[in-house]
Amino acid sequence: MKQLTLVQAINDALRVALENDPRVIVLGEDVGRNGGVFRATEGLWETFGDDRVIDTPLAEAGIVGTSIGMAINGLKPVAEIQFLSFIYPGVEQIITHAARLRTRTQGTHPASLVIRAPYGGGIRAPELHCDSTESLFVHIPGLKVVTPATPRDAKGLLLAAINDPDPVIYLEPMRLYRSVREEVPEGWFEVPLGKARKVREGDELTVIAWGAMVPVASEAAQQWERQGVSCDVIDLRSLYPLDEETIIESVKKTGRVVIVHEAPKTAGLGAELTALINEQAFLYLEAPVARVTGYDVPVPMYALEDAFRPDVKRVSQAIEQVLAFE
């Protein structure tokens, strides 16, 4: 198996999908000749040509609308939005059409399309490049939402998303694009949507995270393990549908929970997870669920970016508070 970065694994998944399924079309701003702003599509246009890898105008509503039309006609479009923060002009198309297509047509028309979008901070990008608005899409019935934290999952989740009959929002944590490398299987393989990954095994506390917050949560748990405290660390991978079974099993085992996400706290996915835990495992809790999140402000410019994003220190402090609760 090759050692790949996360962005290389995404590129590999797109190449495998284009090779194996003539219905797959890659489209978006600068995805062709330039290979994408992060080079996620580098080399694909040279191999597959204008008919399979399509440079589009700077028009997110047009990109999404075109993808919906392709899906209706039996193609499998994989659309790239340069940054998640740029997706807002296309949200109407996503909610009104993509998410409702199969319901509206009583299953007679497919809605198999993927919308890829880099998201989150940590790369010193300017304003409106670093939003983490995953909860907007998790709230919309008919959409599936996934985000990888490892190169292996990046490839496997993307291929599973391409093969899925429903529209999938595929979020790519920019902070992890080139910060981690691991062995990734060659050829076509899938990581099932709706299944979380257990990063670490422990008995005394559960830490739940996704995307770029997974290594942060894992490092905080590792620090506590040196002090004799073992933590379950869960990488959700699939934000919708959720792997409720893995979450609740862990909570029932440990009785204490810390949730970590980069998005603002109010109405973030951490609130939904807290409600789920209260509904299904309340009597197992030894302490209130703690959330370590971004703040309820727009993502600041890069000079203050580190103060906005949750870090190991903040997660470790939350773990300490939850462990100390009586």
Catalytic site positions = 129
**What is the C-alpha separation between 306 and 175, in angstroms, rounded?**
12
Find, among 239, 68, 219, 13, the residue nearest to 139 by Cα.
239
Contacts of 96 (CB under 8 A, 6+ apart): none
Q: Are strands 2-5 and 181-184 parallel, antiparallel or unpaired?
A: antiparallel
Q: How far apart, in Å, are the Cα atoms of 239 and each of 137, 196, 290?
A: 9, 9, 19
Distance of alpha carbon 288 from alpha carbon 294, whole angstroms: 19
| Residue bearing tokens 């080399």 | 43
Non-local (6+) Cβ contacts of 31 within 8 A are 40, 41, 44, 45, 53, 54, 55, 56, 80
- Contact between 12 and 4 under an 8 Å Cβ cutoff? The reply is yes
Q: What is the DSSP secondary-structure string of 302-322? A: GGGHHHHS--HHHHHHHHHHH
Q: Where are the beta strands (DSSP E) in the chain?
A: 2-5, 24-28, 53-55, 76-80, 114-119, 144-146, 168-173, 181-184, 197-200, 205-209, 231-235, 238-240, 257-264, 290-294
Determine the Cα–Cα distance for residues 62 and 129; give it in Å rounded to an integer. 20
Q: State the alpha helices, DSSP H only, in 164-268.
A: 213-225, 244-254
- What does the block give as tokens for 208? 């739940």
Query: Contact at 8 Å (CB) between 26 and 54?
Result: yes
